[in-house]
Structure 1
């Protein structure tokens, strides 16, 4: 019995564990390699068109594709961490996917209820992890999924829960769109506030600086000092004095952390820390982190520490973060390692006065704070949904498989 039940079902019988075999129907089809159907990948972020997921490329496929009819489920049957993400085709038409993806539909079972049960339910997570049989990957074939005994209420209660969770998902989606809209607004604003290639003045300038003269192109070596990070891998502790700034820390905006007590190279407020190495087409190369606090961060190897000499520190952060001149070293084929000379020779177009630098940095900082506030709201909604799931679904018991 779940802890939280809708009033009309409080007197209904308890949920029952039932094998999914009688509720699922294999719906996989096949399409030739030259199909005109849109090709999708089933990812943890949902169904994504392959040409979008792989930066404009559609992978060459010499074999048949699988076909997913509208309203059907699809998922990758192999996982590196034991977690699986199920997706439903809501595109309105058939789509092509890898022929290795299982495809199925539900019979006398609410699809969105099952989707929540599979993607977010603790019962299924336990079952999925139990399928690991040696090796590094967990395999969940469709036949194994059919063997799972899922905790199920009556169909009307399934529909009620699904409708309620869909309403919460609608709120989460709307908040997510708001965050993405703000990020897009910031990107567009930066294109206006900074000169484009071949230009020495931005298209948008604050009124008080309209007659302040053209911006100047200078190598980074003229406006900042540089120092390479140090090796901390042998000095990691569970809870140390310093947070180790590595590429993972910067790429997750400080969420994933390691600690140390060593102080080979530390950072102070106003320093800009930048990733020097990343895989081909990675999202961490030249990504920067702005230090707000003294004596709290240790700079790891493959990270550099930059201190502004003639630039406002926060302006240096905004103009250097994922700078196109540095990203140009990524050939898309091999791992990129930015050298000290690569960074110091990077040309930067800067305003003639520090006052204008600070004005631009202040504007973008305010926008970042607004984005961060909306992200916190988004995370709160996600946490709220997780709590509801724990209440709306029976607690996992020792005998559940």
Structure 2
């Protein structure tokens, strides 16, 4: 190869039937697509869409549970046809340069803050997948700046339409799209299985615990059907409650003696996932305790603690079972989530007091029935956890494939 020759542009991974095909090229978006700038001047449309980093193009009312846009001022909104793509300049952890998504749900309206475009070729699923990769981030960062609010990218229309996109034969692009779409379908199917497990567990909990005012559950294991009524007791007689303690930033770090949890985002039973550590204190939870979030948006979220010891911030408390079976207490608290959220919502910042928790009333059967219920529901938790890991593995596999199936612009070397 002479010094003037360039290595063909190809992805790291290529399907066998295309390994001897010509190399790829990069072309600016403006040669492959056109901006859509038609506005709702006659106010014919009222359906407002939004482009979510996590869910793509969705109906605004469904996403926010209300209309965010002013229904009387929609004449300046862009009309977005089904099949068009939308760029949302708002940045987030999951979309660090803003998401680009394909509108698959139908014609609607988008804020003029968004950029809307349509590909010239209707077979463009390849690019829907490409925009889920990170390959185009570098160009966006080099061509734009964050807005005054530091949560939006600011990029001129000409620069955006200059975004370089990979181009190969239609057959190869469609092969890649089909491959990634099949993975999406598999992930969707496995996610539906996970949701089914969660719904099954929720239904079982509603039947394995008595309704309010009743003394026996609607569903009982055969060996306990003649065991008599459950006893109603004060929750405070069954557990001990340990409050968390606030630590100043200089009192914890990325190393230390015990994990330090400040909220549900820290919940983990794997030391390798722990990000904050502190010295030992009296305000700690231990293995077998149930951690409960008592302040903030995650009020009522639970963790059955398996780690030996965990220091807790003031947003958490540890419920330590005494008379009742630990797993039974955990699942009982899960049935009380809505009640706890309602109790917490009366405050400016959602919060539960010690009295809110200790003031609960619970019905308890004999110890062996408590254990049977706990083991049944925990087995479903284990199945759901395994299913979640399977989904995570599929997502990781897809992410790795995208990194290899799409060429990188600066991979061409002289």
TM-score scaled by length of structure 1: 0.87
Aligned runs of 1:121-270 on 2, under 5 Å?
A: 122-130=134-142, 131-133=144-146, 135=148, 136-139=150-153, 141=155, 142-232=157-247, 233-250=249-266, 257-264=274-281, 265-270=283-288
C-alpha distance in 2 between matches for 1:35 and 1:224: 61
C-alpha spacing 1:183/1:227, structure 2 compared with 1 (3 Å)? same
1:52-91 alignment runs, 5 A limit: 52-54=62-64, 56-59=65-68, 61=70, 62-64=72-74, 65-81=77-93, 82-91=96-105
Of residues 303, 328, 347, the one that matches 1:289 is 303
CA distance in 2, matches of 1:88, 1:333: 41
**Which deviations, in whole Å up to 9, do the C-alpha atoms of 1:86-143 show, x marking residues without a partner?**
222222x3234444332221113742211222221x3212223332346522315554
Mapped partners of 1:323, 1:34: distance in 2: 44
Which sections of structure 2, spanning at least 5 residues, go unmatched? 1-9
Asked whether the equivalents of residues 242 and 284 of structure 2 are also in contact (C-alpha less than 8 Å), the reply is no
In structure 2, the residue corresponding to 1:17 is in which secondary structure? strand
Separation in 2 of the partners of 1:248 and 1:340?
Answer: 18
CA distance in 2, matches of 1:156, 1:327: 53
Aligned-pair CA distance for 1:398:
7.4
**Residue 17 in 1 paired to residue 34 in 2?**
no
Which of 305, 322, 340 matches 1:309?
322
Contact (CA 8 Å) 2:264, 2:293: kept in 1 or not? no
What is the CA–CA distance in structure 1 between the aligned matches of 2:29 and 2:79, rounded to whole Å? 22
* Root mean square deviation of aligned Cα: 2.8
CA separation of 1:304/1:195 partners in 2, compared to 1, >3 Å: closer, same or farther?
same
Q: In 2, Cα distance between the equivalents of 1:33 and 1:212? A: 71
TM-score of the aligned structures, taking structure 2 as reference length: 0.85
Match of 1:380 in 2: 393
Q: Name the residue aligned to 2:5.
A: none
Q: Deviations over 1:42-93 (max 9, x none)?
A: 2123233344433x433462421543211122242221452422222222x3
**Is 1:278 the equivalent of 2:296?**
yes
Match of 1:7 among 12, 16, 33: 16
Which blocks of at least 5 consecutive residues in structure 1 are unaligned?
A: none
Change (3 A) 1:100 1:192: farther
